[in-house]
Structure 1
Amino acid sequence: MGAYAAINGDGLSMYYEVVGEGEPVVLVHGTGGYAGSWAAQLDLLADWYRVYTPECRGHGRTADVEGPYSYEVFADDLAGFIEALDLGPVRLAGWSNGASVALRLALRRPDLVSRLVLLSGATTSREGETAAATALSVEPGRSWLAETWRPLYEALSPDGPEHFPVVEEKLNRMWREAAPVAMEQIAALPMPLLVMQGDDDCVEIAHAAAMAGTAPDGRLAVVPGTSHVSPMEKPELVSLLLLDFFEEKPPTRYFPLGSLRSAAEAACTIARAA
């Protein structure tokens, strides 16, 4: 089911689709994406949750509005969406550019996010990016990336094909000028965090592991044999990982070795079970 929600009082009317019943899950697409970007995950997740897939400003069927883009602007749009539909706190997952938006929302409005998934994105600095990912913000990578999502934009945008260069320039400027998120901010996240990506993705695996390890309740999932679009390449596995994280039923950890304290706790647990 598709509908529009009035956001932030600045003329933004955000298109979204919703399916399923239960507690709310919000899935945020990446650059050039739309609600259908998450189609492969909906069959499983909608059996457990009411799943919302909004389209950000200048994407899909959501018209652009005046003003520059920033991750903070997109995060405020998303906060407005959650509040307009009275959904919060939600289980939130962002993919690629959507991960950077989801992270900013979690930092700015932690009251709206109960569990956070950063999929294939949300590097805390350009140092965590692979060289290939960095090359997409400059020529010839910039033009190549633009041409990959231009057809979808032209097919769906209410602003018409002629507006595409405006949106592309706003996005590119946002990537170039975005302020990084520091590890100290990751360490302050109050909600459980799952950092997930392909093993041939835009973020160095060591950097993703550092993010997950810095969060107070962080987990890391590397989807083997996949790239920046793991939800399309291994949809069942990605869906199961999302469902496992969204379900608040953590198993007993019988042999954790991440710290001396966790090892001591494991020993006690094993002794009690013997």
Structure 2
Amino acid sequence: MPSRFAMVVDSSRCIDCKGCMASCKVANRVPDGHWRNWIKRTAPDFSQGSRTRMHFQPGGCMHCDNPTCVAACPTGATFKDKATGEVVIDRSLCIGCGNCIPACPYGARYRHPELKVADKCNFCRERREHGLEPACVDTCPTKARVFGDLDDPDSEVSRLLRENQVKVVRLTSAGTDTKPNMYYLGGTAPRGWPVEPREPSSMTALASLAGPLVKGAVALTGLGVLAMLGRQVLTSRGAESPETDHKE
């Protein structure tokens, strides 16, 4: 049966230990200088004196229902998996163009320096195939992250969303709702960091050319059809006129 995988994050539990980041890096062999997940933080307000606090917010690829990265991919290498709801990358189709990287509002993608393809969180698919949870979930000492199937009403993620309906936050940029499948509980912060997805210049140029090209193709096709019709009319007229008999 199809699933709809998602992650629920209670960022009030996060202590910024970075265990999730380290375990992800090891489990997925993420190259130096790159990360598949992160922890955002608020700036401390020291005017609060002894009550000064910081808020830590774990994150990663949001596996959106309206993924702008998919629209930016010219080869179909990035797509929404109908069986799991995940946004995945088929490395055999990826040409490493990088179009998807600025198209992600969350900065969740990077170009793998060795494989020369786009890379990001895949909810630790290899671990799940062996019955294990994603590394970030498994490692978190405070259980700030919960992973599961939203289509399973008995899953922990479904229960948490039912019990916290009025408190659920989905982080989006100001102008684009990607419908992310990473849900935050309560007063998560910071909230304003997702950026507006940027369509790569190569795709913009292609779109600008598409209009004239399509119009030209339609015009040529129309001329071809008219020529064929004209030929058929002339041929039919010739067939209807009997040849004149010449008598000597």
Fold shared by both chains (TM-score > 0.5): no
Q: TM-score, normalized by length of structure 1?
A: 0.24
- Say which structure, 1 or 2, has more relative contact order (CA 8 Å, 6+ apart): 2
Q: TM-score, normalised by structure 2?
A: 0.26
Greater fraction of residues in helix:
1
Larger C-alpha radius of gyration, 1 or 2? 2
